[in-house]
Structure formats: C-alpha cells, structure tokens
Amino acid sequence: MHNAKPEFLPDRAVGDPEGPGRTIDLGFGQVARHGATLLASLAGTLAIANLWLLPLTEQTLLTAGRGVVLLLLAIGLMGTARLSLFLTLIVALTGLDLATPSADGTVLIAILEVCLAGSAALALLSPRIRSVS
C-alpha cells in the first residue's frame, strides 16, 4: 500500500509518449530564443543602416559597431548555448545607457533593445528540459 500511486497523478504526462517521469516541453524557451535572434538581427541591421541616414560622427560609428556586435550575437543565438543569451542580455542592457533618444532613429533601436533584453532574459530563465528516470 505504501507504493500505491495517488489517483490524481496520471500514468503519463499529457502528450508524452515516453511515459512517466518526464516533463512537457511547451517550447517557450525556444520561442523566446528565436524572438531574441530576430530582434538582435533587426536591431543590428538598423544600427548599421544608420550610417547611410545620419552624418558620420563618432556616435554613429559607435552605434554601427554595436550593430555588428548584435549581428554576431544573433548568429550565436541560433545555437543552443546559454552564453550567447547571457552576452546578448548584457549588450542589450548596456546599450540602453548609451542610446539617447532623439529623432534620428535611435528611438526604434532603443525599443528593440528593450524587447531584446526581455526576450533574452525569458529565454535564459526558461528551464531546460531534461528527462528524469
């Protein structure tokens, strides 16, 4: 009687063909990671494209350099390592101090970096699915 299974626990998890002891992967971490990839590539492309729209100054060159870093991080986000998520979160959060909102298009990049930081944080905090035997 000690090994009796409670009634409210099913034999299998919903949609789990492997049996009991496994968790359900809803894919939220992957969706957040793909969203961070999209946002990083979009913010990086816009930061580099500002070179054609704005006068060439030290600030626009620094913004374009950040865009190159964001594009490289977007390539890293296509993998599965958590280091790229951590680095993306750091770059997005440090960029919020540097971007002074103005009418020259940096407002859109700042908004994208806020969304990027949120998406990377959600993907970083989402649990990795591991089978429990």
pLDDT at 24: 54
Per-residue pLDDT of the chain (133 residues; tens, 9 = 90+): 556 555 554 444 444 455 555 555 557 788 889 999 999 999 999 999 999 988 888 988 998 999 999 999 999 999 888 899 999 999 988 877 655 556 566 788 888 889 999 999 999 888 765 545 5
Q: Which long-range contacts (CB under 8 A, 24 or more apart) does 29-34 make?
A: 29/122, 29/123, 29/126, 29/127, 29/128, 30/123, 32/119, 32/120, 32/122, 32/123, 32/126, 33/77, 33/85, 33/119, 33/123
Q: Which residues of 86-104 are buried (b: 16+ CB within 10 A; e: fewer)?
A: ebbbebbeebeeebeeeeb
Domain boundaries, the chain: 28-125
Structure tokens at 20: 């009991």
Q: Which of 50, 20, 44, 55 is nearest to 95 (CA)?
A: 44
pLDDT at 11: 47
Is this model's pTM higher than 0.75 or not?
no
